[in-house]
Structure 1
């Protein structure tokens, strides 16, 4: 564990880029071999706006990385934050607690609030209006959402007191998990169900992309499924019944246009309806 922490404390930018590109490439190929849905689409054409938003997310996070580093260094220097106020514990437990709490503040809480606050929902809508969810959908976030997610992560680092090594480990794991859970892959149902008791499995997250409530407002987790299960936001739907998109924004042509997606947060508020 110490070796892992030492590595992520100074992980080179090149290695982080390899994780990003390597993950997309791996799951892209896996989708061709084990597809969940046989989409009739031009994959590269579909991927274009999604990869554009992936690039803007990378640029924003890179530009603000120094703020994250300074915050993580400050909480460590001053021994500030939840995990630094706890009794001394084994390194593995310290890291696990850091990852669990970062997943709550940086992912679950941010995601939950985006669904409950009308203007934030309109920003987050860009992610939900993909009618062909695949691994490129993972980072289909409007630049405004990238800023919002960064703010929640920064808040989490400050409150939790996580050192930069755990932050980098979390972000790397988060990247792989979000590519996995959005990937159009068919995992055996029993295996997926078993995994969903511990981590966010592919089927579990895809339920969140169903086009109608109450499923749209469920399964907010990113890496660990514990938060949905503890806080009552877990729901199950057979994957064969999942329909992607948002029923109040049904125009797939518009939802595939980069120009329209950039304007989407500024349209009138429309929440999905109950089925």
Structure 2
């Protein structure tokens, strides 16, 4: 465990990028072997849009990374944060607790706030406008949302008092788990149900991408499912009833245009026309 900790304490940027790329590649291949839905789309064109937003996320986070490191260094130097206030503990417990708390504050809380604050929802909406959810959807975030997520990550680091190694472990797990629970893969239902008691499983997260409330406002978790169960935001919906998208912005052609997607947070939303959403179902 100490070897792993030391590795992530000084993990090279190239290795972090490799985790991202290998994760996408692995689940991309798996989607072709055991798909959940037979999605009717041009896979490479769809991936191109989402990879564009992946790159914008990298461009936002890379120059700001020093702020995250400075926040972590400050908590250690000033003995501030949950991990700094607790008595000495085995390293594996410290890592697990740190990752869990970062998952709560930097992912679950950030996600919940984005759904509750209208301004932030405008940025997060781009993620929900994907009508063909697959592993690349995990990285479909407006640059504005990437900024919001970064702020919450700094906030989580401050409250947790997280050392750099734990932050890096958390971010690596966060990337892989997000790719996993967005992936268009079919797991045995019993296995998925068991996993959903511990981590966010694919079927659990797909409910969050259903086009209408209350399902859109549920299952906010990224790594651990505990938070949704604890805060009463856990919902189930049979796979065959899931329709991807969002009912306030349902035009699939417009939702495949990068230029229009970038403008969504800055425009006034019009009331959606009446459409038969079931006609767009992937099941």
The verdict on a shared fold, with TM-score over 0.5 as the criterion, is yes
Query: How large is the RMSD of aligned CA atoms in angstroms?
Result: 1.2
Q: Given the superposition, is the C-alpha separation of residues 4 and 216 from structure 1 closer, same or farther in structure 2, using an over 3 Å criterion?
A: same
Q: State the TM-score, normalizing by the size of structure 1.
A: 0.97
1:210 is displaced (CA, Å) by 0.3
Unaligned runs of at least 5 residues, structure 2: 273-283
Does 1:85 find its partner at 2:90? no
Aligned residues: 272
Structure 1: gaps spanning 5 or more residues: none
> SS at 2:149's partner residue?
helix
| C-alpha separation in 2, matches of 1:98 and 1:9 | 14
TM-fit CA distance, 1:268: 2.2
Using the alignment, how far apart are the partners of 1:269 and 1:230 within structure 2?
Answer: 33
SS, match of residue 216 in structure 2: coil
1:98 corresponds to: 98
Which moved further from structure 2: 193-202 or 66-75? 66-75
Whether 2:44 is the aligned partner of 1:44: answer: yes
Give me the whole-angstrom Cα distance separating, in 2, the residues matched to 1:232 and 1:152: 22
Q: Deviations over 1:118-175 (max 9, x none)?
A: 1111110000000000011001000000000000000110111000000000000000
Q: Give the CA deviation at 1:93.
A: 1.1
Mapped to 1, the partners of 2:26 and 2:270 lie a distance apart of 36
Q: Deviations over 1:182-227 (max 9, x none)?
A: 1111111110000000000011011000001000000000100111
Corresponding residue for 2:108? 108
Answer yes or no: is the 8 Å Cα contact 1:19–1:172 preserved in 2.
yes
Contact 1:208–1:220 (8 Å) recurs in 2: yes
Deviations along 1:85-132, one digit per CA (max 9) or x if unpaired, are 112211111111100110011000000000001111111000000000
The ranges of structure 1 where at least 4 consecutive aligned residues each deviate by more than 6 angstroms after the TM superposition are none
Tell me whether 1:204 sits opposite 2:204 in the alignment. Answer: yes
Do structure 1's residue 265 and structure 2's residue 265 form an aligned pair?
yes
Report the equivalent of 1:4: 4
